[in-house]
Amino acid sequence: MLDKQLVYDVLTVALSTGGDLAEIFVENTAKDTIEMINGQVEKAGWGIDYGLGLRIIQGTGAVYAYTNNTSRESLMKLAKESAQAVKAGTKEDGSIKSVITLDRRERLSFADKVAIPPEKVGKKTIVEQLRAASKASYEFDPLVTQTSGNYIHVAQNMFVANSNGVWAEDRRVRTRVLVQAVASEGHEKQTGYLAPGAKGGYEIIESLDMPGLGRSTAEVAVTMLKADLCPGGRMPVIIDNGFGGVIFHEACAHSLEATSVAKGASVFCGKIGEKIAAPCVNAIDDGTLLGEWGTLNIDDEGTPTRRNVLIENGVLKSYLVDYLNGLKMGTPTTASARRESYRFAPTSRMTNTYILPGADKTEEIIADTEYGLYAKQMGGGSVDPASGQFNFAVLEAYMIRDGKIAEPVRGATLIGKGHEVLMDIDRVADNFKAGQGMCGSLSGSVPTNVGQPMIRVKEMTVGGRK
């Protein structure tokens, strides 16, 4: 995407004041969107995100500058100013890195496979797919009063090169729909929501049962509308598969990111090789899974992605590490460097982060629980990695009484500390499923998959209004 001589010249100027590593990241991203409300298209968008980020690392600090003017004049000025921000002469021998290697390694070039480019089918076809979901929601129950459907298609062409010889490019193509149904009666309103997405083009939508998505969201909304308020207090909690994996994502995996670990702001610092979870817990972060929402060919520093085992039989095996935090920790990168766009310096993030399936049967887990909460579908949440304290909303929840799923309850939240909950997982089922999300953190919002089978936590704090 940039001329080799220009890349060379920018990196040379960037390192002229004593920086250890200089890196260029360029992207040209096309975004296509449709927003349907109550079965009618209200908004449609298209645009180009374009820009360059220059990073200079010196010691364990970094200078980051970005712009969308990539003319030679603008970039040389940017490189010069950024180099001036690097505190010159802080190296013991005062040396300046004079040799810049480009192409030392193999040139990497990837592109996601797209079976049906959306522009081939046209936006009107996609509109009809969204409408099918909306129609099915309305037909499911007269209590459904609103629906919304969104379509997002993003094709990011990115290029990254650094003074250590990385030269890599990737074309990342993702497609996602978000389907929502609202059921209401009097002043009470409840929402059902599903948002499947994957790498690829229109074939992703074609493979979905859009009316089925509409019905499922309507069913959750209607069930929750009729539900009583959730009781608060401490109780056993069963969290189902799919988006239920957000609990591990928030409560544990964020605290395994080098962003927190490198500066000693994680509850899991210094715990490699130690038991941090119950023996039934095995967890991975795998950026290589074919076609998954969180998958990447290369990370945003140009490192090919891999399968990282995070927890094996309850023992902590690895953190998620990017180059810069790896320098601080004395650990190599795990190909976990990600950024929303050129506007963000990369840092350690998740890709597809899963609790692996166990041996338990879902029916047995429920039958063995006398009283507790069954969180069938989770909403979003957040965590403070330093204390491990997290919170989640539960979109669809039921009480468990005498080993059976009993009445639905609404307004439940789950709170606790990640490292405590990991130890308290006592059952792991065999029904693994993944769910898609957008994860927000220091380097912006990135697509990630969460996933798990049904798990049970012995005891958790449930927030409710009753």
Partner 1 sequence: MDYKTFRDEVFAQAKAKGFEDYELYYSAGNGFSVRVFKGEIAEYKNSSTEGVGFRGTYGGKMGYSYSEKLDTALIVPMLANAMANAGIIEEEEVEKLYPGDKEYQKVDGYSPAINDTEASEKIQMALDMEKYALSLDPRLTMADYCSVANQESHVAISNSYGLDLSQKTNRAYAYMLARAEEDGVTKSGMEVWYGKNFADFDYKSLAKKAVDTAVSYLGASPVPTGEYPVIFDTYTAADLFGVFSKIFIAESGQKGFSLLNKDKVGETIAAPHVTIRDDGITELSLENSAFDAEGVATQNKAVIENGVLKTLLYNTKSAAKDGVESTGNASKPSFGGAISTSTGNFYLVPGEKSFEDLISGVENGVLITELAGLHSGANVVSGDFSFSADGFLIENGKIARPIDQITVAGNFYELLKNISEVGSDLRFHYFSGLIGMPSFLTGGLKIAGL
Residues 95-124 that bind partner 1 (CB under 8 A): 122-124
In whole angstroms, the minimum distance from the beta carbon of 320 to partner 1 comes to: 19
Element (H, E) at 460: strand 455-463
Q: Does 384 bind partner 1 (CB under 8 A)?
A: yes
**Residue closer to partner 1, measured from CB, 113 or 466:** 466
In whole angstroms, the minimum distance from the beta carbon of 307 to partner 1 comes to: 29
Q: Does 269 bind partner 1 (CB under 8 A)?
A: no
Residues 31-90 that bind partner 1 (CB under 8 A): 34-35, 37-38, 40-51, 59-69, 78, 81-82, 85, 87
**Residue closer to partner 1, measured from CB, 51 or 165:** 51
In whole angstroms, the minimum distance from the beta carbon of 424 to partner 1 comes to: 14
Going residue by residue from 173 to 202, which x/- string records binding to partner 1, judged by CB under 8 A?
---------x-x--xxxxx-----------
Q: Does 362 bind partner 1 (CB under 8 A)?
A: no
The answer to whether 200 and 173 have CB atoms below 8 angstroms apart is yes
Residues 248-267 that bind partner 1 (CB under 8 A): 263-265, 267
**Residue closer to partner 1, measured from CB, 318 or 413:** 413
Residue with tokens 């001589």: 5
Whole-angstrom distance, CA of residue 50 vs CA of residue 39: 33
Enter the tokens of residue 344: 């963000």
Cβ contacts of residue 389 below 8 Å, gap of 6+? 383, 415, 416, 417, 418
SS (H, E, C) 189-241: EEEEEECCEEECCHHHHHCCCHHHHHHHHHHHHHHHHCCEECCCEEEEEEECC
Going residue by residue from 299 to 338, which x/- string records binding to partner 1, judged by CB under 8 A?
----------------------------------------
Enter the tokens of residue 44: 């449609």
The answer to whether 385 and 266 have CB atoms below 8 angstroms apart is yes
Q: Does 403 bind partner 1 (CB under 8 A)?
A: no
Please give the size of the binding site for partner 1, defined by CB under 8 A.
80
- Which residue type, as a one-letter code, is found at position 366? I
Residues 137-176 that bind partner 1 (CB under 8 A): 145-146
Enter the tokens of residue 395: 């979109």
Whole-angstrom distance, CA of residue 315 vs CA of residue 318: 9
